[in-house]
Amino acid sequence: MRSLFVAGALLALAAATGPVIAQPSGEAERPMEQANAARGRYLYFQTGCYACHGTIGHGAFLAGPKLTPPLMAFEPFSAQLREPVGRMPRYGAETMSDEDVADIYAFLKAIPPQPTPDSIDMLKDPS
Amino acid sequence: MTGGRRNFLKTMSAGGLAAVAASGKARAAASGGGTSKVASSVPPIPAAALETAPLEPSESVQTAPSDAALSASARAQPLYGSDYMADCLQHLGLTVIPQVPGSTFTGLHESIVNRGMLREKPLDLLTVTHEEIGVAFAHGYAKVAGDATATIVHSTVGLQHASMALYNAWCDRAPVVCLTGSLTDPESRKNWVDWMHAVSDGPALTRDFTKFDETPRSLPHFTESLVRGYQMAMTPPQGPVVLAIDLNLQERRIAKDEALPSLRKPRISAPQGDSGGVAEAAKMLAQAENPVLIADRTARTAEGFGALIELAETLQAPVIDMGGRLNFPWLHPLNQSFNRGAVLREADVILAMEVQDLSNAVRPAPNARLISLSSYDYYLKSNYQSFQAMPKVDLAIAGDAEATLPALLAALRAAIPRRSRSAIADRGARWAEDRKGQMARARREAALGWSIKPITTGRVWAEVHDQVKDMDWAIVGGCHFEGKWPQQLWDARQHHQYIGDSGGYGLGYLPGAAVGAAYAHRSEGRLPIVFGGDGDLLMAPGALFTAAYHTIPLLYLVHNNGGYHQEIMKVQEQANARARGIARTHVGNVLPGADYAKLGASMGVASQRVVEPGDLRAAIARALEVVASGEPALIDIVSQGR
């Protein structure tokens, strides 16, 4: 099922933008600190987070709010997935395991710092 | 606006893009180097069709006969009903006519090309490839020109194609005069196709979402119906009208003693709210501690735009622009459109002007007193629910907001006590400070993902803005699926710089409307820009053909997010709510593999494809050179979903 999705929806978004995201191997049971950011990235796309929140969690108007920066603490992040507030669809344990949630969080945490407007000429404060 | 920002088409260099602009040069050569004295309305016959070298335009095309000469020859040669109709269109100023040819209006077609297009103030017949594009063209044109124009569609099948676009114009309160062919008399139907294209009451199809329709029975009746239709279309609330024109009436010979049309183009004076209601509204606003202004389709003209600025500054009240038109400068300190919730939670009095979805717009302020000033109250139809949910209004003033604003301003100035001036100034200073924070936040968010692929919509808009900010630019499509970045970061100070969106929220509007709006901007030498969805473009790609064939300059940026992104999110939401997973939710929603640069090139539009964010700058520069040369240019930008 996952391979089907990769062949379809992900390709649509990432058309001509680079290699298809490979599925890293997951570990059945491991502590939170060992969350797998690479697998989280895969899951971020596979479970459709990117559609509303953008491919690096930067958010979008009339879609989903930005997730990072700053990234919220893990507990409220997880709670929002399980019992969302607002229009966010619910991601229950039947479709997303606790490890999946931890890996997605690790992916978001690993996103490199983004440029500030002052570092981009055309976004500098005109005043 | 400085002189340097105006006349974009005249001032930018046209060199350096020989390869991509070759189509335009070929056209110029084919049309005799653009020496025709008749308006630009006669595109050359394609060489492929001639199977020979392009011909020089004939003398009859090069030199327009005077109206007097035409009138004289009219009496020497037979005239027909459709000549009369073409004259009516010209007299009424319905001169820009996009159409897909159809056998139920061949008479009028012939009269336009052989009479109407040869007048001193000629009609301009444009080829479009779908009736939906024709109506959308007229819709976009009207919003820029501030006046209606006509489109002609075939009977039955043509009007059916046009119907969605008419619904958009209806919802967007835009004036469109749609003529549809008709074969009323069964005796004149020559074969089964004619019967298929005949209908007893053609305009019934669109009657639920047009302001007026008629099937004229005589030529004087046509004149009357056209003027009435124009007047109805242009009187706020503006909207589309349909006239069915019988082919027999078009083909009928006019007797020598019959009068040619004589009509006057009425100047439309919009209805103003009554003085009692205006005085009461002024009092409520003057006494309010936190008044808020909400605008949507409020400013139709530069005067309306200026009046709203004056109103806001008089009150130092925040303005929420819902974006149906450009109602208020985007970077004005009182523009609080992106701070709506906070502004409305403080509001005690709200003045809503021509707001479509008013109930939803004021949801954060359930206890504020609400004044509605709108022409919507004048005219309503029941079947289609475009009138939206019923808001709880305290004072409903039926009147065109733009026409009423001067009276409201005068009443307001008289109603504001001198002792309130200090508090009013403080209020404005507070919102201005808040606005600075909003803009800083917008810049921070536009920087997010600056170098990622797919390219962010924030970067696309910023890159375009950086190159056009000193030109007389105009955005000719909605921006809400493309991040609404211009509304946050572009310095729009003139009413014509934005025209809102479709109205009916259906795909297929944007390509035709953008080209129609660009046509209207062409005579002003402005730079029209649109950044629109791939799904929208695929619904009506033939609009690109019209832009290329009729040399309508337009910078068309394709938001290529690979699918119907709204529905990708919605179906995903459904699947998650049902705990079924999203693995299959892309089915039916994605558009992988489409190459819009090739699509544009196939229509004669200079086109490029950009995947790398670092390539955007050069691609935009190349495209701007093409547009400056008077041609359309397209950039297919592989982008984020939103």
Domain range annotation of chain A: 2-112
Residues 577-616 (B) with a CB less than 8 A from some CB of A: 577, 579-587, 589-593, 611
Q: Which CATH architecture has domain A2-112?
A: Orthogonal Bundle (1.10)
pLDDT band at B46; cut points 50, 70, 90 = low
Are A17 and B584 an interchain contact pair (Cβ–Cβ within 8 Å)? no
* pLDDT value of residue B459: 98
* pLDDT value of residue B582: 85
Q: pLDDT (tens digit, 9 = 90+) per residue, B343-383? A: 999 999 999 999 999 999 999 999 999 999 999 998 889 99
Q: pLDDT (tens digit, 9 = 90+) per residue, B228-270? A: 999 999 999 999 999 999 999 999 999 988 888 889 999 999 9
Gap between the Cα atoms of B483 and B325, Å rounded: 17
What distance in Å separates residue A100's CA from the closest CA in chain B?
A: 14
Q: Could you tell me if A70 lies within 8 Å of chain B, comparing CB atoms?
A: no
pLDDT greater at residue B16 or residue B20: B20
Collect all residues of chain B within an 8 Å Cβ-Cβ radius of residue A11.
562, 590, 592
Q: Could you tell me if B640 lies within 8 Å of chain A, comparing CB atoms?
A: yes
What distance in Å separates residue A24's CA from the closest CA in chain B?
A: 18
Residues 451-510 (B) with a CB less than 8 A from some CB of A: 451-454, 456-457, 462-463, 465-466, 480-481, 483-484, 489
- Give the range among A90-94, B106-110, B562-566 with minimum mean pLDDT: A90-94
pLDDT for residue A31 is more than 90? no
Are B641 and A15 an interchain contact pair (Cβ–Cβ within 8 Å)? no
Going across the sheet that includes B240-246, the strands are: B124-127, B96-99, B150-153, B176-182, B240-246, B212-214
Residue type, B641: G
Q: pLDDT (tens digit, 9 = 90+) per residue, B90-134? A: 999 999 999 999 999 999 999 999 999 998 889 999 999 999 999
User: According to CATH, what is the number of the domain B275-439?
Assistant: 3.40.50.1220
User: According to CATH, what is the number of the domain B448-638?
Assistant: 3.40.50.970
Gap between the Cα atoms of B361 and A56, Å rounded: 31
The residues spanned by each domain of chain B are 64-254, 275-439, 448-638
Interface A-B: count of C-beta contacts within 8 A: 148
Gap between the Cα atoms of B245 and B242, Å rounded: 10
Q: Could you tell me if A117 lies within 8 Å of chain B, comparing CB atoms?
A: yes
What distance in Å separates residue B104's CA from the closest CA in chain A?
A: 43
Q: pLDDT (tens digit, 9 = 90+) per residue, B434-489? A: 999 999 999 999 999 999 999 999 999 999 999 999 999 999 999 989 999 999 99
Q: pLDDT (tens digit, 9 = 90+) per residue, B265-293? A: 999 999 999 999 999 999 999 999 999 99
Residue A93: other Cβ atoms inside 10 A:
12
Gap between the Cα atoms of B603 and A49, Å rounded: 37
The CATH label, of 3.60.10.10, 3.40.50.970, 3.30.70.20, 3.30.70.360, for the domain at B64-254 is 3.40.50.970
pLDDT for residue B508 is more than 80? yes
pLDDT for residue B521 is more than 60? yes
**What mean pLDDT comes out for the span A56-82?**
94
* pLDDT value of residue A127: 78
* pLDDT value of residue B583: 86
The DSSP letter of residue B281 is H
Side-chain-side CA neighbours of residue A101 (13 Å)? 19
pLDDT band at B300; cut points 50, 70, 90 = very high
Cα separations (Å) of A24 from B103, B425, B531? 62, 60, 36
Q: Could you tell me if A97 lies within 8 Å of chain B, comparing CB atoms?
A: no
* pLDDT value of residue B194: 95
- Locate the chain A residue with the closest alpha carbon to B613: A17
Collect all residues of chain A within an 8 Å Cβ-Cβ radius of residue B463.
122
Domains B64-254 and B275-439 are alike in CATH topology: yes
**Do residues B243 and B216 make contact, with C-beta atoms less than 8 angstroms apart?**
yes
Residue type, B490: W
pLDDT band at B45; cut points 50, 70, 90 = low
Based on the number of CB atoms within 10 Å of its own CB, is B180 exposed (0-12), middle (13-18) or buried (19 or more)? buried
pLDDT band at B225; cut points 50, 70, 90 = very high
pLDDT for residue B535 is more than 80? yes
Collect all residues of chain A within an 8 Å Cβ-Cβ radius of residue B489.
123
Residue B42: other Cβ atoms inside 10 A:
18
**Do residues B261 and B84 make contact, with C-beta atoms less than 8 angstroms apart?**
yes
Gap between the Cα atoms of A93 and B372, Å rounded: 48
* pLDDT value of residue B67: 61
B194: left (phi over 0), alpha (psi -120 to 50) or beta: alpha
Collect all residues of chain B within an 8 Å Cβ-Cβ radius of residue A56.
448-449, 452
Q: Which of B453, B582, B612 to mutate to test the interface with A (most CBs of A within 10 A)?
A: B582
Collect all residues of chain A within an 8 Å Cβ-Cβ radius of residue B565.
51
Are B450 and A125 an interchain contact pair (Cβ–Cβ within 8 Å)? no
Considering only CA atoms, which of B642, B210, B68 is closest in space to residue A57?
B642
Considering only CA atoms, which of A66, A95, A94, A90 is closest in space to residue A80?
A90
Question: Which tokens sit at B170?
Answer: 């209806």
Residues 139-178 (B) with a CB less than 8 A from some CB of A: none
* pLDDT value of residue B64: 47
Render B349-405 in DSSP notation, one character per residue.
Answer: EEEEES-TTHHHHTTT-TTSEEEEEEGGGG---SSS-TT-SPP--SEEEES-HHHHH
**What is chain B's mean pLDDT, rounded?**
90
* pLDDT value of residue B104: 96
Mind spelling out the 3-state secondary structure of chain A? CHHHHHHHHHHHHCCCCCCCCCCCCCCCCCCHHHCCHHHHHHHHHHCCHHHHHCCCCCCCCCCCCCCCCCCCCHHHHHHHHHCCCCCCCCCCCCCCCHHHHHHHHHHHHHCCCCCCHHHCHHHCCCC
Are A123 and B591 an interchain contact pair (Cβ–Cβ within 8 Å)? no
Q: pLDDT (tens digit, 9 = 90+) per residue, B126-161? A: 999 999 999 999 999 999 999 999 999 999 999 999
